[in-house]
Amino acid sequence: MRCVLVSKSLDLRGYLGPQFIRAADRIEIISHPHEGPATDVRLAVAWHPPDDAFERYPNLQAVCSIGAGVDNILACPSLRPDVDVIRVVDPAQAQMMSGFVAWHVIGHQRRFATYQAQQREQRWQRLGLRRAQDVPVGILGFGEIGRRVAADLALLGFPVMAWSRTAKPAPQGVRGFHGAAGLDAMLGQTEVLVNLLPLTPETKGILNRKTFARMYRGGYLIQVGRGEHLVEADLLAALEDGQLAGAALDVFAAEPLAPRHPFWRHPRIVVTPHDACEVSVEAIGATFRATAEAIRAGRRPPHSIDRERGY
């Protein structure tokens, strides 16, 4: 079996490293574009593939992402509807994301941004303490990562709510919501909103003026989903009129963020360079091997996404 590495923005061979290449049991790894025979390519590893990436591989059966997100692969015009798309599930990634989100939730609760500003002004002024139980957190997206984030925040004492498209069982200390009515109900009780949604046609632009207006006034946004979830002008307006007190943004519609973008210098926005967490090469390798084994055995690979739902 052959596997092709496909990306227009990343040297996948260099990113994955020689250990990954050597660990590909009985699989020849080639890079795209490849001049040799393409009919024996049954597996691909991809990240932001070019539009024509999969045209040359008529017997392709599965494409593995190198991350939990697969929207960049699903958007490729040459991806056939019968090809399975595989996402990576990495418990270590969920742990990293949970720590990142908790840092920002606690920062909002304890007013750390205000204290940093006061330090620059050499101003000694206590702001008063808020208990975690007085800061309700709503989470958009309740998959593997969302469940870990919700459970960890609940252990820290925050009232945690989580929303998903359809009903899902919630861990102890977390209230689950689903559907359009559930989204409205959760937002109406939310001070800190954490976005962990996959990007689909239904979720694009979900972080907008109407969403912010439903939250508690003086709320906070933690955006770690996809850049296209956020309507940037609506966020700036919500910060300007005080509906939101601040925002932590790790993902953007255009990356890297343009030098003149207003987010860079906004006093109530924290910008990080899409670095909240990452999938380990070990987890990518395990997903890759499991996918190859499934193809050899004539089974559908584990962690195949639902193409209609987009995740």
Give pLDDT tens digits for 5-52: 999 989 999 999 987 877 777 788 998 887 776 889 999 999 999 999
- For residues 104 and 216, membership in a common domain is answered with yes
Mean pLDDT in residue range 217-226: 98
* End-to-end Cα spacing for the chain: 27
One-letter amino acid at 100 equals F
In a domain, 310, yes or no: no
- For residues 126 and 34, membership in a common domain is answered with no
Domain that holds residue 44: 2-90+279-297
- For residues 250 and 185, membership in a common domain is answered with yes
| pLDDT tens sequence across 91-144 | 999 999 999 999 999 999 999 999 999 999 999 999 999 999 999 999 999 999
Q: Is 274 known to be catalytic?
A: yes
The β-bridge relationship of strands 84-86 and 192-195 is unpaired
Q: What is the dihedral of CA 60, 66, 70, 76, to 10 degrees?
A: -50
For residue 311, name the pLDDT band (cuts at 50, 70, 90). Answer: confident
Q: Tell me, what's the pLDDT at 25?
A: 72
- For residues 209 and 285, membership in a common domain is answered with no
Q: Inform me whether the pLDDT recorded for 255 exceeds 80.
A: yes
- Active-site option among 148, 226, 229, 303: 226
Decide: 283 and 90 in contact? Cβ < 8 Å: yes
Q: Tell me, what's the pLDDT at 150?
A: 98
In a domain, 204, yes or no: yes
Number of domains making up the chain: 2
CATH code of the domain covering residue 232: 3.40.50.720
Q: How far apart are the C-alpha atoms of 215 and 193, rounded to whole Å?
A: 8
- For residues 116 and 241, membership in a common domain is answered with yes
Q: Is 226 known to be catalytic?
A: yes
In a domain, 307, yes or no: no
- For residues 66 and 53, membership in a common domain is answered with yes
- For residues 220 and 102, membership in a common domain is answered with yes
Q: How many CA atoms lie within 13 A of 221 on its CB side?
A: 34
In a domain, 37, yes or no: yes
- For residues 196 and 100, membership in a common domain is answered with yes
| pLDDT tens sequence across 158-176 | 999 999 999 999 989 999 9
In a domain, 80, yes or no: yes
Decide: 205 and 179 in contact? Cβ < 8 Å: no
Q: Tell me, what's the pLDDT at 26?
A: 78
pTM of the shown model: 0.91
| pLDDT tens sequence across 262-284 | 999 999 999 999 999 999 999 99
Q: 242: helix, coil or strand?
A: coil
Q: How far is CA 81 from the centre of its chain?
A: 24
Mean pLDDT in residue range 205-223: 98
- For residues 245 and 102, membership in a common domain is answered with yes
For residue 299, name the pLDDT band (cuts at 50, 70, 90). Answer: very high
Q: Tell me, what's the pLDDT at 38?
A: 85
- Active-site option among 13, 110, 111, 274: 274
Q: Tell me, what's the pLDDT at 151?
A: 97
Above pLDDT 70, what percent of the chain? 99
- For residues 206 and 224, membership in a common domain is answered with yes
In a domain, 303, yes or no: no
